[in-house]
Chain A
Amino acid sequence: MKTQRISARRAVVLGIGGAVSAVLLAACGGGSSGGDSAPSLDPNADLSKQSIVVSNWDAYMDPDAALKFTDTTKANMTVANHATNEEIVGKLTAGGDPGIDVAFVSGQYAQALNDAGLLEPIDPNLVPNLANLYPESKNLAFDPGNKFSVPYAWGTTGICYREDLVASPPTSWNDLLNPAPEYEKKTLMLSTQPWLNLPAAKALGFSANTTNDGELEQIKQQLLKTKPTLLGFDDVTFYERLASGEVVMAVAWDGWCNYSGDPNVKFVVPSEGADLWADTMVVLKSSKNKEAAMAYINFMIGDEMQGWMTNNILYKSPNKAVAEKAAAELGADYPNIAMTPADLAKGEGLIDLGEASKIYQQIATEVQAS
């Protein structure tokens, strides 16, 4: 039940949703408005006079979040949905007032938005629940010290595998990149960057964020060598392919192995290491209700909303008490939930690649077209 809802959600959000989201969604040019630092926020503002618009991935938060937020703070709230990071960033950078107060974006995109001067600094006085987060989650590579973003969920990337269908569990990215003959055509990789590059980058000992031309060339050569051994690239239904037994190993975001609903599907972070990603909340500088926006972020990293997220999305919570409770209750069934922040923090934080994102995309095109 839970899993079904989640898999539907993920399919909509990242896969199909991404695929069908309008290509020409923003016809206007970019160009970002800088701006002076806003006047400091008023801790005694009357939130009942404020109203915010929050843009999030569909079904990524408690469906009653808006009601509960209004009950708690008296501020009004409207929810908008976006399908992908690129879609919301396109909307926010298109110029003019996007009409959005708080946006959910992955960390590297929060960094890009902040570089464009679009984000309001987080006021820690208005987000007291920050004190309940793991220190590791407050020191993420894209935003050390939560200057402009607050993590909502975090995790890593590894290999999902069928314990009953492999001779021994994979321990290295090379187990998938250069598979034993019996596993050929029984493996999948993610086609979305930077996760397409990640296994090869880590296996070769490079940074997950490398922008070095020579290293990127070596990564590409490895991927071109791996491709004939893959069944395909699949960002959408890979956990179903694992559940059906068509594939025995797949590169996967940690929470997604759980959606297969099959106890034989296990998750491992290979010994060469992986990434550390976070989905964050940011407040737009253009917001006219910043106090309510900060209160919303505070509410979303509180115990109730974080509890909903980790129990329903099966991603790890950066909220210490919630994560420890979830690890105790769910860790046996969903091993990724049991990972400690120390384990997670071994992953390399993903950052905005700027201009190099084009090279990453060109590698993706070349590998898939080969």
Chain B
Amino acid sequence: MGVLTRPMQRATADESADLRAALVRRAWATYVDIIRS
């Protein structure tokens, strides 16, 4: 049970970090768009 749970938790944390990184990139792109357009 523990063997199954730990990789799943790690994957969830990684997905969360990826999602946040994507959101931050998108917010940055939006700001650049505001500045240039």
Binding partners A and B:
no
Chain B residues in contact with chain A, CB under 8 A? none
